[in-house]
Amino acid sequence: MAGRSLNKIMLIGNLGKDPEMRFTPNGQEQVRFTLACSRSWKTPEGETREETDWFNVTTFGNLGKICNEYLHKGSKVYIEGRLSMRQYDDAQTGQKKTWVEVFATDMMMLDSRQAGEGGGYSGAQRSNTAERSTSNQDTSAAPVFEEDMDDIPF
């Protein structure tokens, strides 16, 4: 395992605003949005507290197109990707600042189908239409296998 590392983040939250589509200099779609992830807990005094973390999320290509088309402010989504941190000098204050961003590789819409089109998309796997079509296949034609209980290896 020497030399290997892992940079993976998984978030469930709500969009803080509608996604914004831009294009990179080479013409690739780039979609950005903010994601609010809240957590709550009880203090020792029994008071309920809530805190929200905001994440800047960026998507590219087909995943970006899907996010731009189907997501909107308030949408509940699952995002999976990698975390990126960059430092820069603020031109106005001269202070060093850190920009944290999630580069999403997978997305799943968690809202009910009545609230919008539920479903998911994995940039590395398959499209929504492929996912829907595989879930609608007729399983009655599946082969039936007889089990030989004497052949179980344990």
Domains of the chain, first to last: 1-40+48-116 (2.40.50.140)
pLDDT band at 117 (very low <50, low <70, confident <90, very high): very low
Q: What is the DSSP letter of 74?
A: T
Q: What is the DSSP letter of 68?
A: H
Alpha-carbon dihedral sign for residues 65, 69, 72, 76: negative
User: Taking the model in full, what pTM does it have?
Assistant: 0.68
Instruction: Give per-residue pLDDT as tens, 58-79.
Output: 999 999 999 999 999 999 999 9
The encoded tokens of residue 106 equal 């997978």
Collect all residues with Cβ–Cβ distance below 8 Å to 89 and sequence separation of at least 6.
95, 96, 97
